[in-house]
Amino acid sequence: MAEIKSHEFEGFLQRSVSAYRIFVIYGPDRGLVSERAGQIAGKSSVALDDPFSLIKLDIGDLQKDPGRLLDEAGTIGLFGGEKLLWVRGAANEKYLVDALDHLSQKPLDATSIIVEAGDLKKGSLLRKLAEGTRSIVAIPCYSDDARALNGLIDSELASEGLRITPAARQALIGLIGGDRPASPTEGRKIAPYRRRIGTIGGPYMHRRHRGARAPPGDPNGVATLSRHTGTFPRTPHK
């Protein structure tokens, strides 16, 4: 049994993901579920642009053909090598649970399986299987907590050489909240100012939070940022 908590995921991704073949990623935060699935897929040795190696299945495909997951897992790829089966939209379907249960009991030498599911209740069939089977990894995804949001902000801004004041950080956390799809994009909206500004301060975030319009001649709020940092860049980077 392996259940990976939110704060454990990055370490798991870097050190342990290759030791497993079946991943059940679930939770109410659909954006985070999709993001985690993509990160795990990226760590596989499968070429994600190769339709013979990456097989994407919607749960509707399995509903029409409940045996398809077993068939795909047992089929050798056209050119051999690794294969990734990526199932999206799962809930608590018994045919999916039965297939994963069967596949978890034997080595999957050249096939990996990622299942994206919704908010599985404690004791539901799919969650119970994932949490209770040693060869399956269960990865719950809930709305970002404060530590995760702070880490996300630091990562996005550090990549652009930016810093942020405590007041602006709190405003940004309030702006993005637990909306995972919005979390990285809000960081990237302020990142185009790059190294010319250096530090993002409260006035800019306050104006973004209120949704106020920028003054004429300053459509991107550069002057607002500059007043706080003491720099006056002519134009932001695109």
Which is more confidently placed, 156 or 185?
A: 156
Contact indicator for 39, 137 with CB cutoff of 8 Å: no
pTM: 0.66
Separation of alpha carbons 210 and 73, rounded Å: 51
Task: Give the pLDDT of residue 196.
Answer: 41
Q: What percent of the chain has pLDDT over 90?
A: 45
Task: Give the pLDDT of residue 6.
Answer: 83
First to last CA, the chain: 47
Contact indicator for 164, 133 with CB cutoff of 8 Å: no
β-bridge mates for residue 84, sequence order: 54, 112
Burial class of residue 233, CB neighbours in 10 A (0-12, 13-18, 19+):
middle
Q: Which domains does the chain have, with CATH numbers?
A: 2-140 (3.40.50.300), 146-229 (1.10.8)
pLDDT grade for 31, boundaries at 50, 70 and 90:
confident
Find tokens 């994407």 and name the residue: 56
Pick the range with the lowest mean pLDDT from 44-58, 77-91, 97-111, 172-186: 172-186
Written as six digits, the tokens of 73 are 């897992």
DSSP 145-183: -HHHHHHHHHHHHHTTT-EE-HHHHHHHHHHHTT-TTHH
Task: Give the pLDDT of residue 40.
Answer: 96
- Summary mean pLDDT of the chain: 77
Task: Give the pLDDT of residue 199.
Answer: 59
Cβ-based neighbour number of residue 237 at 10 Å: 11
pLDDT exceeds 80 at position 66: yes
User: What mean pLDDT do residues 120-149 have?
Assistant: 88
